[in-house]
Every structure is written in C-alpha cells, then in structure tokens.
Chain A
Amino acid sequence: MSVIILLLGASLIVALFFLFAFIWSVKDGQYEDDFSPAHRMLFDDKTDNE
C-alpha cells in the first residue's frame, strides 16, 4: 500500500509545479493583456529576413 503514498507524493509535486507555473504567469503579467501577444507572434519581420 505504501506505493500509493509514493504516488500521492509524486502527484502532489506535479500539481505544485502547475501551481507555481500559474503564479509565475500571473506575476509575469500574462493576464494583463490578452490581445497583443497573440497578434505579435503573427507578424513576420520581413526586413530582418530579407
């Protein structure tokens, strides 16, 4: 049965990883502006490539 406890620990660590990912993304300001990043990546920087 102790294998379940081990599994439990592993799942908690994975969940904690996601929690910290969320906190980091909030801190990074990713929820401040949901328009520009999505559009920014669509622009090809032609002058730099040619």
Chain B
Amino acid sequence: MVYELLNEHGLCAYYTLNARPGTAQRVPVRQHKFAFLDEAPIHRQLIQYEDEQQAHVTFYIPNIHCSSCLWLLENLHKVNPGVQQVNVNFSKKEARVIFMPQQTTLRKVVETLAGIGYEPYISLQDLQKKKPPVNRRILYQLGVAGFCFANIMLLSFPEYFSGENHMDGTMGLVFRYLNLALSLPVFFFSAQPFYASAWKGLKHGFLNIDVPIVLAIVVTFVRSVTDVLTGAGAGYFDSMTGIVLFMLTGRVLQDKTYKGLSFDRDYTSYFPIAVTVIKEQQEVPVQLPDVKTGDTLLIHHQELVPADGILVKGKALIDYSFVTGESAPVTRQMGEIIYAGGRQLEGNMEILTIKEVAQSYLTSLWNRDEMQHKEQQASFIHLLGRNFTWIVLFIAAVTTIYWGIYDTSKIWPAVTSILIVACPCALLLAASFTNGHTLRILSRHRLYLRNAQAIETLAATTHIVFDKTGTLTGKAQSATTWHGRALTVEEQLAIGAVSGQSQHPASRAVMAVCSKPANAEVLRFTEDTGQGLQGWARQMHIQLGSAAYTGAKEGIGSQVHVNINGDYAGYFLLSHTYREGINEMLHALPYPLTLLSGDHDGDAPLLRNMMGQQADLRFRQQPHQKLDHIIALQQQGKQVLMIGDGLNDAGALKQSNTGISLTENSNNFIPASDGIMEASQLRRLPAFIRFCQSGKRVILISFAISVLYNITGLFFAVQGKLSPLTAAILMPASSISIVLLTWALSEWAGNRLLGDDSHHRP
C-alpha cells in the first residue's frame, strides 16, 4: 500500500534510502475512524492556528523511527496536494503539518497519514491540556556563564603571573573592573537555579546542599567586589563564575529528559478523543467528555470501551488484560456490565453508558487520594552536604576566635576565604555528573529513568513486587501444548471443529493449535458453561473440558482434557510464556519478592518454583488491592520497587518508591512511573540495581577526593593567605578531576555490571 502510493507519486527513491524502511504491513484503517475530526469542537481544539490560507496542527506519531520516515512524512505534499509543509521533530516523534483548509480537511490529512502507515495518536489528553512550553532558560544561563567565565579567565591571567606589583596601574584597574562587570550576569542571572532551590529548601525548613553553595557564591562575590572597590586585590571572580558554570553543566546533564517518552500519562492518554454515539439511528462522533449517562455508544472491533456501560447489542469478547491483568478475554452477555478500559475483540457492539467517563471505575482509580502525592525523600547528598556545612562553619568560627585574639585585621580575609574554599561544590558536581552518567548508561541499556532521584530510590530497594501478566509473561499469546497419546490428523481436525464452536478463550487456544477444518460441521453440539463442551464431528464424539467434566485426573495449571469416543486421549496445557531469563533473574534477586497478579492462580506452582518459598504470591488482585498492598509494605518500612505494565498496575506503580513500567515498544501505552524499561531487559534487573548502588559509591569516592582539595585550600585560607591564584588553580583542578573521575568510574561500573550489550537508539 505504501509502495503503491509512493510509486504513484514518483517517490520511489524512498526505498533506496534505507534497507529496512517502514514497519511492515499495517492493519487497514476503518473507514469512518476519523469522522470525529470533522466535528467543529474537536477540530477547533486540535488546530493550533488557522486562517483562510493555511492551518497548523501538530500530531504525535509514534511510528516515526528512521530517516525514511522523516523523508516520507516531509514529502506528504506530494501524496496529498492540500498539504503545504510537514516538519518532523524526530526526537519528540511529532510532525507539524501546515495544510490548506480550502483544498483538504483535517480528517483527510489524518487519513492520508494513516494510509501510509503513520497514524497520528490522538487521545483525550490532547483535548484537555496544552503542553507546557519548552524551558530553555537553563541553556541561556549556561551560555552566559560560559561566556563570562572564559573572558574573566582571560582577563585574570595577567594578574596571576604579575606577582606583586608588576601590573601597570591603570591597566590592572581596567582589567579588574571588567571582571567585576562580567561577573554580574553570572551572579544575578546564571546562578538563579541555585538561589531558587536553596530558597525552596529553607522555606520547607530543610538545609539542602544548595544552601551552602549559595552561601559560598554570595560570600565570594561580596568579598571580590569589596577587594576590587577598595583596591585590595583582584577578587575571586574567576573561581565564582567557574564553579557556577561547572555546576550548571552538571545540572543540564542530570536533567536530560527523554523527549520521546512520557512518564506522566494518566487515563486521558489511553482513551480515544471521540466515540461514536448512536442518536436516532444515526452514528454521530462525540467528544469523550461530552458523553452522557444513557447514551448508546457504538464500540468498533478493537476499540477501547471508554465508559462503564451495559451491553445492549452485539457480542462482547472483552480483553481486560490492561485493566485487571487477567490474561484471557471474557465473554459478556447482553445486559451485563462492561467496565471502561476493556478492549472489544469481536466485531462491533453497542453499549448503554451508565456512568460518565470521569466517574468510571477505571478513572476513579486515578483520582484516589493516596496516588496524588508521593513523599519525596531527601537525597543522601543533602544530608552529607549538611554535615559538611556544619564542619565548615565550625572551622570558620574557630578561625574567627583565633584571629580575634592575635590580629583582628585578618578576620575578614580568613573567614571569607574559608567559606570560598570550602564550598561543597565538588560534592554537588560529583553527584550531578555521576547521576547524569548513570542515567545515560542506563538508557544505553534501555532502562529510562525519570530523574536522578529514581537512581537513588532504585538503589535503596529492599522489596520487589512484580505483576504477572505482561511483566513476567510476555504479551504474546499463551503457549498451548498437547500432552497425551498421539492424535491422528482426522482427530485433530475434529477437535478443531468442535472447539471452533465455542467462544471460550480456552477453546480458542485449542482451536488455534488444531486448526479449524474447512468442513467444520458439528452435530449435536452442547456447551456447559464453565465445564466443557461436546459434539460429533467427522464421525467422532469429542468431549473437551475440565477434569470433572471429562472424568480425568485434576492436574496443574489450565488444562483442557479431551475424550474421543468416550476414551481419554490426553489434555492441552495452556501456559503463559514467561519472558526469557526470568527464572534466573528471579533467583538472582537478593530481595524478598511479592507477586501481585490480577490473573487466576493457574500458574501458582510454577511461579512458586521460580520465585522461591518465601515469596508472597497473590492472585486475583484488583487494582486497588495492589495499591493497598504496596501501602502496607511501605508501612512496614520497606522500600518498594514495583514492576508492572498495564493500567491495572498504574496505582501501585505510582505509590511504590520506585515504579518501573515495562514496554515492548516504547511507543506504547505506559502508565505513569519513575522509569520505563524495555521488556527484553527485565532479566537484567539485578545488574541494574547493583549499578545504581555503585553510583552512590562513585559519588562518595569523588567526595572524599574533593575533601582533600578542600583541606589543601583550607590550609591557606585559615592563615588568611588564599591568593586568587591558589583559588584559580584549586577550583578548576578539583572540578575537572571530579568530572573526569565520575565519568571514568561510572563507565567502568557500567561495563563491569551491565556489559557491552548496548546500542544507541536515536
């Protein structure tokens, strides 16, 4: 299909660009799927700018993944002449489309995109809030600090090498005042993030590490200004601007975000933007928030049920795995309640809504109080910084008393230089650079943590909670294996024919392995709900069902027993496929484990074997039970790491100290969490935790080394002899060596613990 379109428009160069272009064949798009885009209110909210000539709209397109995508999308005007221009932001997976409203419509643009395999992801979230503008302030601050630092360094060189009195009088003054002028933007603009953070800490009565840093910056600045104005010296502008520049760099590194990933999805991003409502026999697309109780919704094949409702027409086979973790789809009869969040798997159906979207069971989970806030724990860096500050203040006090007795004129220079030298900047540098490296090394191994805090909480984990469906097991279909006597082809076909009569998930799994024959005639078919089924096919009497139904012995796991012509032939074992390496991973984890599964306990013995005798296995857990269990663990003082996937884990993920959601492809639905891990990497969880723990050691080692620098500086400072030159050597030397050290140590730890199995992904 893509090829036809491309060929038609002479865009065949596309295939010469990349050996493996595009993701393979797409599911054809339903004809009226995007009809809702013609509705004025939806249209209005999606379009960012519109006049007679052009309209601007930005789409999130999860399928963007290679340079060919870029090319194809930016040549969209050749496929749809109404499109003027497309601009792709690759890292955000966004495409900004400018089209001519007279020639085409929003709906047609979206349909063109969907037609070539780039279906935009339009969710309820797009309606409700606008994205915050990008914050580039810290980049400006970094640029200004870099500029000022470089120039101040340049202007300070003559001072360093001139010794006592070799500087030409006026020239020296010009240099000093220029330095003073250049330091102003750094002091008043670039250092703002530190003031803000220190002020926030003080307001909450918490002495964080930014407080002593701000103290050092302010003291250095005041001391330098008085030195220059009184003609006493050149001041320490070089050290001050340098340290601000280094610390800002560390902060930018540490705060690097993954633009393509979103850690804050709530239910609104799972739901479609509009649904089809049946009003007076007409199908009308309606915005989701406008759906009222009592509306009849038409849910198409493979669509998500957006609100709790009663099935009024059609057959319902609902996959709730996303909401409850139950692996098998369930059948619902006419008149039964269907909860929001399920996915319809069998044709179209109509439901009568009984609750509005915002009040559905699923959405109410998101609005529970416990989930709204998670206690922020103070990082050990702040505690370390606080002790450090007290020691420095103590030394300053002793020095004051000493010089107060012997030479009062030395109090001011000695005390100020102590505060300048003993700023815990190196500690902050060590922390931010190590965290930045750790985040980047982890992302190379496809674990994307939300922020530096997550590294620390992950390292402190004392208890791990797993979800089963979608986490320990793959999302792929369960494996069905035959245990019993060998079946003839005829018998297999007969079993296939009989099982094909039933919608029960187990029957479907059996049918999938036996393959339904073309002549699937089944005579005298009967089905006992919850028990089994029987019928005549190909002159054989086939009986399928539970152990009790077929008279077989009860076994382990989900089994479908088979009787052929009254004789027991064997059973099909329906087992979930566990991810590769899960068993070894679970054994390697030195923590107490808990399993919270929404599914039935069919696999309990197997899981018990994998997770060990001490593990706490809980099945049939509702989402709120999972959440409550996490809270209970935390009340016992445990640091909980939860690993899950679907919406059913969303509450628990958010509540736990570290919540990591698994994804099989990073474009998929990911509930709000502290980290996103590619599913294939789950087996390396023990290594990830150890690596995060090593990050803390790297910070401590770097800190110990920086203390050595501090002691050297203090040796000069307490005597009141800290010259700008000593400061100018100590400051960059300590900062650069700390930066290099943290880099080398984290890379080394990364290689040792995580190995070389890393590849970069754009």
A residues near B (Cβ < 8 Å) are 1, 4-5, 8, 11-12, 15-16, 18-19, 22-23, 26-27, 29, 31-36, 39-40, 42-44, 46-47
Contact A36 B70 (CB under 8 A): yes
Partner of B140, one of A23, A40, A44: A23
Q: Can you list 16 pairs linking A and B with CB atoms under 8 Å apart?
A: A5-B171, A8-B155, A15-B147, A15-B151, A18-B147, A23-B143, A26-B139, A27-B136, A32-B259, A33-B92, A34-B91, A35-B91, A39-B70, A43-B74, A47-B10, A47-B11
By Cβ-Cβ distance, the 3 closest A-B pairs, closest first, are A35-B90, A36-B90, A19-B147
Contact A36 B143 (CB under 8 A): no
Contact A33 B67 (CB under 8 A): no
Contact A26 B74 (CB under 8 A): no
Cα(A33)–Cα(B70), bound, Å: 12
Cα(A27)–Cα(B150), bound, Å: 22
Contact B13 A15 (CB under 8 A): no
Contact A40 B762 (CB under 8 A): no
Does B704 belong to the interface (CB within 8 Å)?
no
* Neighbouring B residues of A39 by C-beta, 8 Å: 67, 70-71, 90
Residue of A nearest to B158 (CB): A4
Contact B10 A40 (CB under 8 A): no
Partner of A43, one of B71, B89, B140: B71
Does B617 belong to the interface (CB within 8 Å)?
no
Contact A12 B151 (CB under 8 A): yes
Contact B140 A26 (CB under 8 A): yes
* Neighbouring A residues of B13 by C-beta, 8 Å: 44, 46
* Neighbouring B residues of A5 by C-beta, 8 Å: 171, 174
Known interface pairs A31-B139, A33-B89; A40-B74 also in contact (CB < 8 Å): yes
Contact B144 A33 (CB under 8 A): no
Does B229 belong to the interface (CB within 8 Å)?
no
Does B78 belong to the interface (CB within 8 Å)?
yes
Give the Cβ gap from A31 to chain B, nearest Cβ, in Å.
Answer: 7
* Neighbouring B residues of A31 by C-beta, 8 Å: 136, 139
Residue of A nearest to B89 (CB): A33
Known interface pairs A33-B92, A43-B17; A15-B136 also in contact (CB < 8 Å): no
Interface size on B, residues (CB 8 A): 31
Does B476 belong to the interface (CB within 8 Å)?
no
Give the Cβ gap from B238 to chain A, nearest Cβ, in Å.
Answer: 16
Contact A32 B70 (CB under 8 A): no
Cα(A23)–Cα(B139), bound, Å: 8
Does B168 belong to the interface (CB within 8 Å)?
yes
Give the Cβ gap from B15 to chain A, nearest Cβ, in Å.
Answer: 13
Cα(A29)–Cα(B136), bound, Å: 9
5 further A-B contacts with Cβ under 8 Å, apart from A1-B171, A8-B155, A12-B151, are A5-B171, A19-B144, A26-B139, A27-B136, A36-B88
Cα(A11)–Cα(B762), bound, Å: 38
Contact B74 A15 (CB under 8 A): no
Give the Cβ gap from B170 to chain A, nearest Cβ, in Å.
Answer: 8
Contact B89 A32 (CB under 8 A): yes
* Neighbouring B residues of A33 by C-beta, 8 Å: 89-92
Known interface pairs A15-B151, A46-B13; A22-B74 also in contact (CB < 8 Å): no
Cα(A31)–Cα(B268), bound, Å: 29
Cα(A46)–Cα(B171), bound, Å: 61
Contact A36 B89 (CB under 8 A): yes
CB interface residues, B 119-170, toward A, < 8 Å: 134, 136, 139-140, 143-144, 147, 150-151, 154-155, 168
Residues 254-272 of chain B, each 1 if its beta carbon lies under 8 Å from chain A, else 0:
0000010000000000000
Give the Cβ gap from B80 to chain A, nearest Cβ, in Å.
Answer: 15
Cα(A16)–Cα(B178), bound, Å: 14
* Neighbouring A residues of B140 by C-beta, 8 Å: 23, 26
Cα(A18)–Cα(B134), bound, Å: 23
Contact B134 A19 (CB under 8 A): no
Contact B762 A22 (CB under 8 A): no
* Neighbouring A residues of B91 by C-beta, 8 Å: 32-35
* Neighbouring B residues of A8 by C-beta, 8 Å: 155, 174, 178
Residues 87-120 of chain B, each 1 if its beta carbon lies under 8 Å from chain A, else 0:
0111110000000000000000000000000000
Cα(A11)–Cα(B150), bound, Å: 11
Contact B762 A35 (CB under 8 A): yes
Give the Cβ gap from A25 to chain B, nearest Cβ, in Å.
Answer: 9
Give the Cβ gap from A44 to chain B, nearest Cβ, in Å.
Answer: 7
Residue of A nearest to B10 (CB): A47
Give the Cβ gap from A22 to chain B, nearest Cβ, in Å.
Answer: 5
Give the Cβ gap from A4 to chain B, nearest Cβ, in Å.
Answer: 7
Contact A40 B171 (CB under 8 A): no
Contact B143 A26 (CB under 8 A): yes
Give the Cβ gap from B118 to chain A, nearest Cβ, in Å.
Answer: 15
Cα(A4)–Cα(B171), bound, Å: 9
* Neighbouring B residues of A22 by C-beta, 8 Å: 143, 147
Give the Cβ gap from A34 to chain B, nearest Cβ, in Å.
Answer: 7
Residue of A nearest to B11 (CB): A47
Residue of A nearest to B170 (CB): A1
* Neighbouring B residues of A15 by C-beta, 8 Å: 147, 150-151
Give the Cβ gap from B310 to chain A, nearest Cβ, in Å.
Answer: 47
Give the Cβ gap from B181 to chain A, nearest Cβ, in Å.
Answer: 10
Give the Cβ gap from B683 to chain A, nearest Cβ, in Å.
Answer: 30
Give the Cβ gap from A42 to chain B, nearest Cβ, in Å.
Answer: 8
* Neighbouring A residues of B178 by C-beta, 8 Å: 8, 12
Contact B143 A40 (CB under 8 A): no
Give the Cβ gap from B140 to chain A, nearest Cβ, in Å.
Answer: 6
